[in-house]
Amino acid sequence: MIITLKKKKLTFLQKIYIFEVVRGLMITMGHLIRNLTHPSRMMTVNFPEETKPIPKTHRSEHRLMLRPDGSIRCTACMLCQTVCPAYCIHIEAAEGAIPEKEKYPKAFTIDLLRCVYCGYCVEACPCDAIRMDTGKLVDACYKREDFIKDIDYLKANHPKGLNPISEAIY
């Protein structure tokens, strides 16, 4: 069954479009005058002077959690690398001092230019080794290499007030 819709005929004033343009400009001018007369009701923030608070659920830069002895919680299980849809996490595993105990990451890099900040790596990690709760936004850099964060940066990327050695999960 085919349904055909009939087009409405435009009136002469609608065909000219000048009145529609003027009506749009009147709406814009109304917003401008309202914002100038009542600046406290504007939805914008004066950025350098004021900052919006970052919500606690915001996924920001990554960090690697540490054990109480100072070693990384990561066991190089490759789950975060596997689940990452952007393929931005690269892990190079190495055997520990006691081979039957566990592995550790010899190299752990995250390419922030490829990262989509989905949080899948945090959800997939069985050891709670990686988190995205630093509250830091990505800085501007001049070179692409500055956006590739290595294991040393991720171990030290802890915000003030958050403990890098929290409730140990082995």
Q: Would you say residue 102 lies in a domain?
A: yes
Blockwise average pLDDT, block size 10, the chain, 170 residues: 85 83 95 90 82 85 90 92 96 84 90 94 94 86 94 89 57
Q: What is the CATH number of the domain that holds 125?
A: 3.30.70.3270
Q: Would you say residue 103 lies in a domain?
A: yes
The total number of structural domains in the chain stands at 2
Domain that holds residue 15: 11-50
pLDDT at 169: 43
**Whether residues 27 and 84 fall in one domain:** no
Instruction: Kindly report whether the global pTM for this prediction surpasses the value 0.85.
Output: no
**Whether residues 17 and 91 fall in one domain:** no
Distance CA 137, CA 159 (A): 12
**Whether residues 29 and 94 fall in one domain:** no
- Would you give the distance in Å from CA 68 to the centre of its chain? 28
pLDDT at 138: 79
What is the identity of the amino acid at 153?
Y
Instruction: List the Cα angle 163/165/166 in 5-degree steps.
Output: 75
Q: Would you say residue 166 lies in a domain?
A: no
Q: Would you say residue 35 lies in a domain?
A: yes
**Whether residues 67 and 46 fall in one domain:** no
| E strand intervals along the chain | 63-64, 89-95, 103-111, 130-131, 148-149
Q: Would you say residue 74 lies in a domain?
A: yes
Instruction: List the Cα angle 15/17/22 in 5-degree steps.
Output: 150
Residue that is written with structure tokens 């054990």 in the block: 67
